[in-house]
């Protein structure tokens, strides 16, 4: 597809996405979406899939579930009303689908308050199309990792979904502080560094805990000024991210809002991993790192 074709079709897809967003609390016929975009249904669905890697039906389903998540966390509406607006025939059917996707009931989720797992609205422009096409592996590698002992530095930050977002300040500074330690950490396993991301413990529920770390042998001493982190063995969905590390949030967004919502796995609520191996080069746009989310089927 040529660059000029991208611009033409991105505009049509954006019209369809806007139509979906305006009708999340009612049935969204595929033909009506295509009509709003000015294309035939067959044509729209093919273009949507080619540009986003996702079927139109799956996208609508994920957006309606995301809207239900937001209403559970941000309103006092009855779960039944939210379920019906999301397109489910009953509260029980909604609860079964919700538990399969998130590992808990809608009522239990509401009790947790705001979390950082809301799938975002798909924002389509030329840059995002190029990113989806060239910078992220749409199908992750499913792999089992053994338990790890890590040593590193820790901070707490607010991510891109928060109004308090300070990711761009906190994480680069943490890595700048940590990297000079690498030659002083005894019994380290060289070649790979890890960014470990977990929900924070503060009351507002938006903060995330982050470690910049390297794996060490279990009996390795911890230098003064660093901390030890033990991670249990787990199954991960590992996505390749190509390009600058500062753009990894695009890969995270794809993993959570597209792949995780439409797939056969759900997040285990363990720690996410950024994996910086031999393919990572902070100065290169061809750099490669991996983002892994712990999953259960």
Using CA atoms, how far residue 260 sits from 14, 54, 141, 206, 216, in Å, is 22, 12, 13, 20, 31
With both helix axes pointing from N to C terminus, report the angle between 41-52 and 3-22 in degrees, rounded to the nearest 10.
110
- Contact call for residues 141 and 63 (beta carbons, < 8 A): no
pLDDT above 70 for 112 = yes
Q: Domains of the chain (ranges plus CATH)? A: 3-134 (1.10.10.60), 141-296 (3.20.80.10)
Strand partners, 273: 196, 292
pLDDT tens, residue by residue, 218-246: 999 999 999 999 999 999 999 999 888 88
pLDDT tens, residue by residue, 129-175: 777 777 777 789 999 999 999 999 999 887 766 667 777 788 899 99
pTM for the model:
0.74
- Please report which helix (H) or strand (E) contains residue 201, including its range: none
- Contact call for residues 155 and 210 (beta carbons, < 8 A): yes
pLDDT above 80 for 23 = yes
* Res 247: pLDDT: 80
In the block, tokens 């031999």 appear at 278
Using CA atoms, how far residue 122 sits from 56, 153, 251, 284, in Å, is 12, 34, 13, 27
């Amino acid at each position: 597809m040529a660059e000029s074709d991208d611009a033409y079709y991105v505009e049509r897809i954006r019209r369809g996405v806007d139509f979906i967003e305006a009708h999340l609390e009612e049935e969204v016929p595929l033909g009506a979406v295509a009509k709003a975009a000015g294309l035939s249904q067959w044509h729209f669905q093919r273009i949507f899939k080619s540009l986003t890697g996702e079927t139109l039906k799956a996208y609508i389903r994920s957006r309606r579930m995301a809207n239900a998540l937001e209403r559970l966390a941000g309103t006092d509406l009855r779960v039944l009303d939210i379920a019906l607006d999301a397109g489910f025939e009953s509260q029980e059917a909604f609860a079964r689908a919700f538990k399969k996707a998130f590992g808990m009931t809608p009522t239990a989720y509401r009790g947790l308050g705001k979390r950082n797992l809301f799938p975002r609205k798909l924002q389509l422009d030329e840059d995002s199309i190029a990113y989806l096409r060239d910078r992220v592996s749409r199908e992750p590698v499913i792999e089992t990792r053994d338990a790890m002992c890590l040593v590193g530095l820790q901070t707490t930050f607010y991510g891109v979904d928060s109004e308090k977002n300070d990711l761009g300040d906190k994480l680069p500074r943490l890595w700048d502080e940590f990297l000079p330690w690498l030659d002083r950490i005894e019994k380290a396993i060289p070649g790979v560094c890890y960014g470990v991301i977990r929900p924070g413990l503060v009351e507002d529920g938006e903060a995330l805990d982050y470690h910049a770390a390297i794996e060490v042998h279990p009996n390795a001493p911890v230098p003064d000024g660093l901390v030890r982190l033990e991670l249990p063995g787990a199954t991960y969905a590992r996505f390749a991210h190509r390009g600058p590390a500062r753009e990894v949030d695009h890969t995270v967004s794809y993993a959570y809002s597209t792949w995780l919502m439409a797939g056969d796995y759900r997040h285990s609520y363990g720690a996410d991993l950024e994996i910086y191996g031999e393919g990572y080069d902070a100065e290169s746009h061809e750099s490669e790192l991996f983002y892994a989310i712990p999953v259960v089927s």
